[in-house]
Amino acid sequence: MNIGPYALANNVFAAPMAGVTDRPFRQLCKKLGAGYAVSEMVTSRRDLWDTLKTSRRANHEGEAAPIAVQIAGTDAQMMADAAAYNIDRGAQIIDINMGCPAKKVCNKWAGSALMQNEALALQIVEAVVAACLPHGVPVTLKMRTGWAPGHKNAVSIARAAESAGVQMIAVHGRTREQGYKGLAEYDTIAEVKAALRIPLVANGDIGSPEKARDVLAYTGADALMIGRAAQGRPWIFRELTHFLATGSRLAPPLVLDVKRLLLDHLLDHYQLYGEFTGVRTARKHIAWYVNALPGGDAFRSRLNALEDCRAQLAAVGEFFDALGAQADRIPAPADGLRGPADKQAMNNDKKTEQAAP
């Protein structure tokens, strides 16, 4: 499958998750089989572009192509400027965020709240497409099924966006009002697919190979996007692509391989964030990796006391060495998804940002 000139390795993608899908995590997902990965959202507010947070998000050093950056905002000209700013910093694809229900974004009518104002949503799409066109940069859109259960307008917005030049659309099968509650539904996604000629990506609650197969078949989608199920389990991409290609499940990864890839993930993470912020923001990733493993709960509570990279790396190494002494492979995961955003973990990240020297 292609987005503009970019041929993608496969049709199982990593979903953008603010505070999670930073460059190290995206790289890892791509290395472990994701056909495509979009950045965390970058604000269209120019006054925030020089903050450490935004400059980290706009840093794509060493990232495998295509580099896709998601932008969020409420003003067409500001969104067009944000597209140009990110293209200057290496973005090869620009994704418009109409999918995120976060209050911080929605109070200002950005993210999924934009679906409530179709005229403004379309103005933004047109302005971003116009800004990207001279650079040959494709524009994609991520949205929900609508803004409330009685107001599912994904088909209408998707049609308008396609006419305006958007080249791929991803739909999360929940309304904005739902947040992450209830179940994702795939009927609206199937309707959007049927209404479009451009590729459609189905998203929401996909956490097992069988579910991936069923959602593809039910919706007719061209691709899938995986969010929460990839937290602490970035090898899910190769598990899904293998199953979709062969109909058989891969064995869970070797404990030794997970130890190695987590330690590499941590080193890359520290390099981007530095020691103070890196050690603290890595805790949630480590917690996700060990979440369902024997001894994981006790280990998670020990983690918070470790405040430097060496101690954190050593503890992670010891945890996996002890696990490896009991079993070659990590236990097969339960197919359910863990809770939406790990709120405590995200709040801790905010505190870290404020306390960073």
- What amino acid positions are annotated as catalytic residues? 100
Candidate residues 203, 219, 241, 281; the one interacting with ligand FMN per rule CB under 6 A = 203
Q: Are 222 and 201 in contact (CB under 8 A)?
A: yes
CA 204/CA 187 separation, integer angstroms = 12
Per-residue DSSP letter, 340: S
Least distance to ligand FMN, CB of residue 115, Å: 12
**By CB under 6 A, is residue 40 in contact with ligand FMN?**
yes
Query: What is the C-alpha radius of gyration for the chain, rounded to an integer number of angstroms?
Result: 20
- Per CB under 6 A, 199 contacts ligand FMN: no
d(CA 40, CA 321): 33
Q: Answer yes or no whether residue 341 interacts with ligand FMN by CB under 6 A.
A: yes
CA distance 350 to 19: 10
Quote the least distance from Cβ 314 to ligand FMN, whole Å. 28
Closest CA to 132 of 140, 143, 144: 140
C-alpha to C-alpha distance for 48 and 266, rounded to whole angstroms: 27
Q: Which CB, 141 or 309, lies closer to ligand FMN?
A: 141
Q: Nearest 5°: phi and psi at 54? A: -70, -40
Per-residue interface string for the shown chain with ligand FMN, residues 140-179, x marking contact by CB under 6 A: --x-----------------------------x-------
Q: Which of 29, 200, 229, 290 binds ligand FMN (CB under 6 A)?
A: 229
Identity of the amino acid at 3: I
**340 part of the interface to ligand FMN, by CB under 6 A:** yes
**Which residue is at the shortest CB distance from ligand FMN?**
227
Q: From the CB of 12, what's the least distance to ligand FMN, in Å?
A: 11
Binding-site member from 226, 287, 290, 330 for ligand FMN (CB under 6 A): 226
Crossing angle between the packed helical segments 76-88 and 118-132, to the nearest 10 degrees: 30
CB of 72 to ligand FMN, least distance (A): 7
Residues 6+ positions from 19 with CB-CB distance below 8 Å: 40, 281, 284, 341, 346, 349
Which of positions 94-113 make contact with ligand FMN (CB under 6 A)? 97, 99-100
Q: Please, what is the Cα angle at 281 between 279 and 287, to 5 degrees?
A: 95
| Binds ligand FMN by CB under 6 A, chosen from 10, 11, 13, 17 | 17
Q: Which of residues 37, 41, 157, 323 is near ligand FMN by CB under 6 A? A: 41
Contact 237, 230 (CB under 8 A): yes
* Interface with ligand FMN, residue 239, by CB under 6 A: no
Q: How many CA atoms lie within 13 A of 106 on its CB side?
A: 14
Q: Are 90 and 162 a contacting pair, CB within 8 Å?
A: no
Query: Quick one: tokens of 313?
Result: 């790396």
> Least distance in Å: CB of 323 to ligand FMN?
26
State in angstroms the smallest separation of the CB of 223 from ligand FMN.
13
Q: How far apart are CA 357 and CA 326, in angstroms?
A: 41
Contact status, residue 201 vs residue 225, Cβ threshold 8 Å: yes
Is 20 near ligand FMN (CB under 6 A)? yes
Nearest distance from residue 311's CB to ligand FMN, in Å?
A: 26
Q: Which of 3, 12, 18, 110 binds ligand FMN (CB under 6 A)?
A: 18
Binding segment for ligand FMN (CB under 6 A), chosen from 28-36, 93-101, 213-221, 245-253, is 93-101
Binding site for ligand FMN (CB under 6 A): 15-20, 40-41, 70, 97, 99-100, 142, 172, 203-206, 226-229, 340-341
